[in-house]
Amino acid sequence: MAEVEVETAGGLMIVAINRPQARNAANRAVATTIAEAMDELDRRNDLRVAIITGRGGTFCAGMDLKAFLRGELARIDGRGFAGLTEALPRKPLIAAVEGHALAGGFELALACDLIVAAENAQFGLPEVKRGLVANAGGLLRLPRQLPFRVAMEFVLTGAVVSAPELRKFGLINRVVAPGQALPQAVQLAEVIIQNGPMAVAASKRVMLEALDWPTTEMFALQRAITAPIFASRDAQEGARAFAEKRAPVWQNA
């Protein structure tokens, strides 16, 4: 049984951690497979969006502590925890969360562009309770995605919070019935897949990189990324399809 299952069809990649006996805690094998999947996602022009989820009713309980005690790290140099948190793909990534997304599991979700969660899903960074720190992105991304003091309390207490509570702060895109996180994430992915792939990738890049751009340079930096999109064949196709009242046929060029 594969510890990570990777499926591709119709422009969509689904990456499912499959270690239910360990609450989908990540080990080295999980990190390696996810890193390889993200490389494949960006390499293949027919793939437009990826979803990360977990089998067996939970998302990911973080680092496999038993593996950690054996000296096995669930990270890849240059890629981070689970082969992802320090090296994001160019294409959109959606987390479909059931059950628990704790510690590195929550950090894995925070690295995604969108989060769809079951209403009974639980999120937390309990590292401080174990004498550890959330250094797989939690300390860096959470203050950018939540109000600062809310994020600070989250980190310092190690509290576990429900999906509906986090939805109030805009951290989660959609809260759905239990068992529906993946189907709803697929529906969201299918909407994105209909859009121009170059435009989607460029838009994601600008939104992420602009967080660190000085205001005096931000439009020039944006122009360098977006100008090729306006000059692309896909831009012509999008306009032509609109005028002809038909669905566009993207060439990714």
Residues labelled as active-site residues: 107, 127
d(CA 62, CA 101): 7
Rg, C-alpha atoms of the chain: 19
Yes or no: say if 44 and 225 are a contact pair by the CB < 8 Å rule. no
DSSP 8-state symbol, 156 = H
d(CA 1, CA 6): 12
- Pick from 173, 177, 231: nearest CA to 199: 231
Yes or no: say if 163 and 178 are a contact pair by the CB < 8 Å rule. no
DSSP 8-state symbol, 142 = H
